[in-house]
Amino acid sequence: MDTMAPILAAHPFCKGLDSRYLKLILECASRETFTPGQLLCQDNQEARKFYVIHHGRVAVEIYRARRGAVTIQTIGEGEVLGWLWFDQPYHWHLDARALDLTRVISLEVQCLLDRCAQDHGFGYEIMRRYAHRLAVQFRATKAQLADFYGD
Amino acid sequence: MTANLPDPMIPTPFVVQKVKRETSDTYTLDLTRAEGAANFAFAPGQFNMLYAFGAGEAPISISGDPARPETLVHTVRDVGNVTRAICRLKRGGVLGVRGPFGVPWPVDRVAGQDVLIIAGGLGLAPLRPALYHLLNHRGEFGNIEVIYGARTPKDLLYLRELERWRGRFDLRVHVTVDQAEGDWHSNVGVVTKIIGRTRFDPPSTVALICGPGVMMRFTVLELLNRGLKPEQVYVSMERNMKCGIGLCGHCQWGPFFVCKDGPVFRYDRIKAWFDRREV
Amino acid sequence: MTASSLKVGARVTLAAGDFQHLLDALAGRGYRVMSPTLEDGRLIYGEIGKVTDLPIGWTAFQEGGTFRLEHRQDQAFFGFAVGQQSWKQFLLPPHQTLWQAQREGSGWGIIPQVQEIPQFAFLGVRSCELEAMAVQDRVFLQGAHVESTYRARRESAFIVALNCAHQDPGTCFCVSMGTGPRATAGFDLALTELLQGEEHGFVVEIGTDRGAEVIRQVPRRAATSGEVDAAARAVAAVAGNMGRRLDTTGIQELFYDNYEHPRWDEVAARCLNCGNCTLVCPTCFCHTLEDSMDLPGAVAERRRRLDSCFTVDFSYLHGGSIRTSPRSRYRQWLTHKLATWIDQFGCSGCVGCGRCITWCPVGIDITEEVRAIRETAAGPPKE
């Protein structure tokens, strides 16, 4: 657990977080490593984890019959995966596959939610970061929808 | 009394030496003069008016290496009558060339700086000569980052060259698409997102951007957010052009003639017009 | 009067009855004399040979969307303001073949069109029109690239200017644009028509040596100070009786700060996008290039044609046009004419001739549009 603290503290998602809150997050954290091709999550599975990526690259895919997997986004070091965990139905609706050897700190969603409910100050901090991620991703998605490279 | 028309209005015949299909609708043509062997000197970012006999002219940016002016290289997308006629030319075919015209990228004025080259879609074509120049004079520049975005992997220009550039240690190339199938191993996401992964020292960096309007708008915003000043950002604009020499009035964009005041503009000089619509 | 006193700046008087001699002198020097003349009930610029080809005794009533020829009480030679045409048609032909290309084996040979340059003498060029020529000079002669047809025609043209006198105020607003009504430069000869009872003549100011040579062949006498004063008074009367006024104070900022002004929607609702204003405007220079091929595919041709920014095609870029709305096209025209022109060429694109007001089928008035925006102007946009 001790080795996770500096990684989390340096990660953009947790940067600047009060050490008290960092400790709460650490209570829900564990390390995971994925080899290239390995799935971090799969469509329709229950969403129990939130991934803080600190090394490697992950492809977010939608599976389509006949065409197979279509990658709609790649994310990597400094980013997070699974930020829809906060909302129902607590199911993944995409596949995420490691492209390179990928190291993450995974956070237990239920554990995080419990702590947010108990300590609204902590909950607010998490929600603020969550909202920022959402806004960044939303902007990128809108840009993608605008047919960025078409004329 | 008689008058000869101004020379810049008369095309020079060039012969197609090679045609390479880049994507489903985009071709790269290697051209040499039909008569004589004079070089075609140009500066990165300049364009030519290419004339398909009988069909008409279209402004097309020059895509070759400025250090190899014996061959004129153009990458053309088939989007209309004229470009279709050009794309259908085979080896030995003849087209007319007027140029080079326009204001180039400031590559000879940014020694010592980090350079960001950000291209979307066909926008890599006018930026390739700039990159050639940077690589030809590699020691003069700081870190060089190339970000290139396209709709899908099938829409990427200069694939083999991109791979070669990616193998270099003195250059970082980030290729990204909006959507990928199969064994695409590179990025998926918009170019603006990639900017966060590049390394540059904001006070001594210059960014060269070319792509569709919406892509350039978002990219400029992201660069400004990351500490670049408007005068460190250059964009290449596109407008309808007929004469290419500032006489016909078609390429007007507010106070500018894109053909002679551009196509490359320093962002701080055009800021007031950049986001305006139907200008 | 001795020939040696015919110097640049000198003024002589030419009797109306001797005007034919001026036409003959010009023709004798090889000029085709182009002048206001009536053709099928229209006031146009055409070639004339005789004094009687002038629209003698006619005037033109002009208002927004209205041009009506009417008889005058007198026999004035030039008793009207400008008509729909301007001299630009002679300096850069609205249609011109630039070159042809001929198939030669597997290649092509390009054959530039040899242009015959007509030698024109323009008679009756108003001050606003001289200024319009000076504006087009900046476009075609003073940039990095020179339009050689324009240059050849412009350099060879002999100009007989006409100071405005004896006409209705109509749609003119040259005074507020600083372009008239008196011709101050850019002419070989400048006439002021004098109509005083039975006396009918012209005070002629010599502008160039070339002008002096022509006058030398014409019966004339030194102008009296009374005649010179009468000429100045007639011109001053026109200056004091302008039909319109356009306030050019801070005009660039006015346009740039009001790019989204609601007035653009209002004027667009009236504007037919017919392009008349661009055709009659003496400074509008936009043109396009057209290509064609003959049926056997052996000869290709490139032509230049006058174009108008009011067409959707004008801003066409693969896939669509930039200026799709009528509002944006009207805005482009007016903003260019009065504001961006100054950035581009260092002068206004408007010379206050009023043609765009007269010939607009719905009577849109450029001076009124500027006034409307000015009265309800927004401040500069916030950063």
How do the pLDDT tens digits run along chain C, 383 residues long? 555 578 999 999 999 999 999 999 999 999 999 999 999 999 999 999 999 999 999 999 999 999 999 999 999 999 999 999 999 999 999 999 999 999 998 889 999 888 889 999 999 999 999 999 999 999 999 999 999 899 999 999 999 999 999 878 899 999 999 999 999 999 999 999 999 877 899 999 999 999 999 999 999 999 999 999 999 999 999 999 999 999 999 999 999 999 999 999 999 999 999 999 999 999 999 999 999 999 999 999 999 999 999 999 999 998 899 999 999 999 999 999 999 999 999 999 999 999 999 999 999 999 999 999 999 987 655 44
Alpha carbon of B139: minimum distance to chain C alpha carbons (Å):
35
Cite the DSSP H helix spans in chain C: 19-28, 88-91, 127-140, 148-156, 174-177, 209-216, 225-239, 251-257, 263-270, 276-280, 326-335, 341-345, 355-358, 366-375
Q: Which two tokens stand for residue C183?
A: 């011709």
Is the distance from CB of B72 to CB of B28 less than 8 angstroms? Answer: no
Q: Which residues in chain B touch residue A148, judged by CB atoms under 8 angstroms apart? A: 120, 149, 151, 178, 190-191, 211-212, 214-215, 218
Alpha carbon of A151: minimum distance to chain C alpha carbons (Å):
7
Q: Are residues C192 and C276 in the same domain?
A: no
Determine, yes or no, domain membership for C235: yes
Cβ of residue C3 closer than 8 Å to a chain A Cβ: no
Q: Which two tokens stand for residue B199?
A: 């390394």
Per-residue DSSP letter, C381 = P
For residue B173, pLDDT beyond 50: yes
pLDDT number for residue B1:
43
Q: Which two tokens stand for residue B180?
A: 């990928």
B83, burial (CB in 10 Å: exposed 0-12, middle 13-18, buried 19+): buried
Q: Are residues C17 and C50 in the same domain?
A: yes
- Cβ of B249 within 8 Å of Cβ of C309? The answer is yes
* Count of structural domains within chain C: 2
Q: Which residues in chain C touch residue B260, judged by CB atoms under 8 angstroms apart? A: 143-144
Determine, yes or no, domain membership for C383: no
Whether residue C181 has a cis bond before it, omega within 30° of 0: yes
The residue type of B212 is P
Question: Chain C: residue nearest A150 by CA?
Answer: C319
Q: Are residues C327 and C225 in the same domain?
A: no
Q: Which residues in chain A touch residue B181, judged by CB atoms under 8 angstroms apart? A: 67-71
Q: Are residues C196 and C64 in the same domain?
A: yes
Smallest Cβ–Cβ distance between B188 and the set A67, A72, A78 belongs to A72
Determine, yes or no, domain membership for C53: yes
Domains and CATH numbers, chain B: 7-101 (2.40.30.10), 107-236 (3.40.50.80)
Q: Are residues C70 and C193 in the same domain?
A: yes
Q: Are residues C210 and C135 in the same domain?
A: yes
Residue A58 CB partners (closer than 8 Å, separation 6+): A34, A40, A51, A74, A75, A76, A81, A96, A97, A98, A99, A102
Determine, yes or no, domain membership for C302: no
Look up the pTM and report it.
0.92
Look up the CATH architecture of domain A4-145: Sandwich (2.60)
pLDDT number for residue B87:
97
Q: Are residues C34 and C83 in the same domain?
A: yes
Domain that holds residue C272: 251-286+308-375
Exposure pattern of C298-332 as b/e (b: 16+ CB <10 Å)?
ebbbbbbebbbbbbeebbbeeeebbbebbbbbbbb
Give the best residue of C302, C331, C334, C347 to mutate against chain B (max B CB count within 10 A).
C302
Tell me the Cα Rg of chain A. 16
Share of chain C above pLDDT 70, in %: 98
Q: Are residues C131 and C181 in the same domain?
A: yes
Cβ of residue B80 closer than 8 Å to a chain A Cβ: no
Question: Chain B: residue nearest A98 by CA?
Answer: B185
Q: Which residues in chain A touch residue C317, judged by CB atoms under 8 angstroms apart? A: 151
A41, burial (CB in 10 Å: exposed 0-12, middle 13-18, buried 19+): buried
Determine, yes or no, domain membership for C366: yes
Q: Are residues C22 and C143 in the same domain?
A: yes
Q: Which chains touch C (3 or more CB pairs under 8 A)?
A: A, B
> Residues of B numbered 133-152 whose beta carbons fall under 8 angstroms of chain A's beta carbons: which are they?
149-151
Determine, yes or no, domain membership for C294: no
Query: What sign for the dihedral angle of Cα C257, C260, C261, C266?
Result: positive
Exposure pattern of C161-195 as b/e (b: 16+ CB <10 Å)?
bbbbbbbbebbbbbbbbebbbbbeebbbbbbbbbb
Question: Chain A: residue nearest B216 by CA?
Answer: A148
Mean pLDDT of A126-137: 89
Is the distance from CB of B100 to CB of B69 less than 8 angstroms? Answer: no
Please state the domain extents for chain A.
Answer: 4-145
Determine, yes or no, domain membership for C246: no
- pLDDT of A62-72, one tens digit each? 988 887 889 99
For residue A1, pLDDT beyond 70: no
pLDDT number for residue C105:
87
Smallest Cβ–Cβ distance between C99 and the set B10, B13, B80 belongs to B10
Q: Are residues C260 and C191 in the same domain?
A: no
Q: Which residues in chain B touch residue C310, judged by CB atoms under 8 angstroms apart? A: none
> Residues of A numbered 92-151 whose beta carbons fall under 8 angstroms of chain C's beta carbons: which are they?
151
Q: Are residues C202 and C277 in the same domain?
A: no
Domain boundary (C208, C239, C270) is at C239
pLDDT number for residue A144:
81
Q: Are residues C282 and C224 in the same domain?
A: no
- pLDDT of B236-257, one tens digit each? 999 999 999 999 999 999 999 9
Exposure pattern of C24-62 as b/e (b: 16+ CB <10 Å)?
bbbeeeebbbbbbbbeeeebbbeebeebebbbbebbbeb
Determine, yes or no, domain membership for C230: yes
- pLDDT of C11-36, one tens digit each? 999 999 999 999 999 999 999 999 99
d(Cα C63, Cα C358) in Å, to the nearest integer?
Answer: 5
